[in-house]
Structure 1
């Protein structure tokens, strides 16, 4: 394993020839600022994109302090390489990215209602039509959405998430972790701390093996060089993506982060509610994934979620951190796609 102190600093990442192309230019099929939450503290606008025009509807729910571009590996596969089979919805939650950042109390249930308004606007309203995947806070929003419209859920993937945030470490360690999220710090420290919270060190120091778009990818704009480049390590690619976010104070405001953090911190679903979720959605339609090296939402949360929901697929993946969609995008995508295919067949069997 490489010495962490030898990882490149912010200045080196920004000077890397691949940095300007960190966020891929994937052309959406549909995009819009949609006013939502009228009568719920709004209206305010949520920015969304649909990639692909296929009949299978995928809904990707992002986590705390992240923007919709964090799904770009999934958007590339499901919205472009297989865009004739899938339609993928990505969007910035209230408080982040291109969406509005209203000053108000955020909750995961209200954020789920934001999603529901987008889905209704798109006409994605059929029974058993939605394949919903949520990571971290996005998984909390997914729980709320599934309880609101269980009959519209075809599959539900809950990734690195929890029924509620509990202290599974010592009081001092838990307090230190929570305070560290909000303390002012240098950009270098912010990026390295985020990397530690989200990923295993072993993965961070491996060579960057990201599958990038190329000239054969449908509906992608190539950079001026004519090709998307690679970084030397996974740490460099993550740091570059993190910097594109943190160097955009309009898209990554502190107030938005704190209001989302309050929503995630106060999220709560009882064992009874999760039992009802399993009953109404169908346990064979639900998947829970969690990593043993998750430093953001510790693995006991994932085990507890599996115990309460009893999903058709429950996997605790050894050695992995918080963000499967980056740390092992191929495995993550295969797991989601397998559930999608299985539940689509369940639909066919009921026709």
Structure 2
């Protein structure tokens, strides 16, 4: 591991620093591995950690958001991998989880190239259904501009083509650096990622806790056992890459011209991406599906995972059946 300040936070278990990869215990088929990316594009090559869930014929790529490990897709992999229909790839971006990365100057275009090189490593040259959430949606936009022929369908979730961000999210991320208790850091982030009403509700799929707040908190602590603490250089470098992101109206018109079946999803209360930015994407991309999730907050894939997963499967099915997408 490169010498750097370890961000002592809710991002992972310090005991994992000496390990090479996490221990997984999924019931469905899965694989773990590393792909060497960014050779000649970075200070040094990046060993990018990925997981492959399921063994179905449909190829699905999930691209996670800012400074968040691939374990955050648990609600998708646990539901969609066991069906036998999907092979799902998730990964840790530079400086996150089990992937190399510390202080580095890169942007979302370089980030996108990392992911395209991961797809090359896997031999996924076409027919890929891609889902980009938050900063992952920014990366997916750049991937589309670089290699549109790879994609069978795309989903852009709680994301932006560029521009200003809400103050609350940025302030909380920065101020969390000065909070010594990792559990309090996590609680602060949860309160700005999800609506209070949703956090206070009783979960409909976990009788061991009384509220969604307890459920998400418990889930995050479990995920930490499969993750490493993030280095501050990796955290800041990725944040800067996301903040610098920009895709023009002309770029969006180009993406639309590819004719790839598209879903754009947003919410009604978001402290990390202005919801209006998704409406901007809707206006310029004219997606096949546009969804607004009520009472969720930023993290739609967790708060509304059942509805979200169902919408993805419908998109994928229609994309694979041209007569359906045209009707």
Same fold (TM over 0.5): yes
Question: Which residue is 2:241 aligned to?
Answer: 263
Question: Which residue is 2:203 aligned to?
Answer: 208
The 3 A distance-change label for structure 1 pair 327 and 232 is same
1:134 positional shift: 0.9
| 1:48-83 residue CA offsets vs partner (Å, 9 max, x unmatched) | 111111111000000112111111111112212x1x
Q: Return the alpha-carbon distance in structure 2 between the equivalents of residues 106 and 72 of structure 1.
A: 28
1:181 to 152, 173, 177: 173
TM-score (norm 1): 0.79
The question of whether the paired residues in 1 share the 8 Å contact of 2:293 and 2:300 is answered with no
Q: How does 1:26-41 map to 2 (within 5 A)?
A: 26=26, 28-41=29-42
Question: Which residue is 1:121 aligned to?
Answer: 121
The question of whether the paired residues in 2 share the 8 Å contact of 1:28 and 1:49 is answered with no
Q: Return the alpha-carbon distance in structure 2 between the equivalents of residues 45 and 155 of structure 1.
A: 27
What is the number of equivalent residue pairs in this alignment? 300
Q: Return the alpha-carbon distance in structure 2 between the equivalents of residues 179 and 319 of structure 1.
A: 22
1:335 positional shift: 0.7
Does structure 1 residue 290 correspond to structure 2 residue 266? Answer: yes
Q: How does 1:1-351 map to 2 (within 5 A)?
A: 25-26=25-26, 28-41=29-42, 42-80=44-82, 82=83, 84-126=84-126, 129-167=127-165, 174=167, 177-183=169-175, 184-185=178-179, 186-210=181-205, 230-244=208-222, 250-280=228-258, 282=259, 285-346=261-322
| 1:263-310 residue CA offsets vs partner (Å, 9 max, x unmatched) | 111111011101101112x16x01100001112212111111111212
> SS in structure 2 opposite 1:25?
coil
Larger Rg: 1
Root-mean-square deviation (CA), in Å? Answer: 2.5
> SS in structure 1 opposite 2:81?
helix
| 1:103-122 residue CA offsets vs partner (Å, 9 max, x unmatched) | 21132111111111111111
1:187 positional shift: 2.9
> SS in structure 2 opposite 1:319?
coil
Q: Return the alpha-carbon distance in structure 1 between the equivalents of residues 169 and 124 of structure 2.
A: 39
The question of whether the paired residues in 2 share the 8 Å contact of 1:245 and 1:251 is answered with no
1:161 positional shift: 0.3
> SS in structure 2 opposite 1:32?
strand
Q: Return the alpha-carbon distance in structure 1 between the equivalents of residues 119 and 140 of structure 2.
A: 13
1:43 positional shift: 1.0
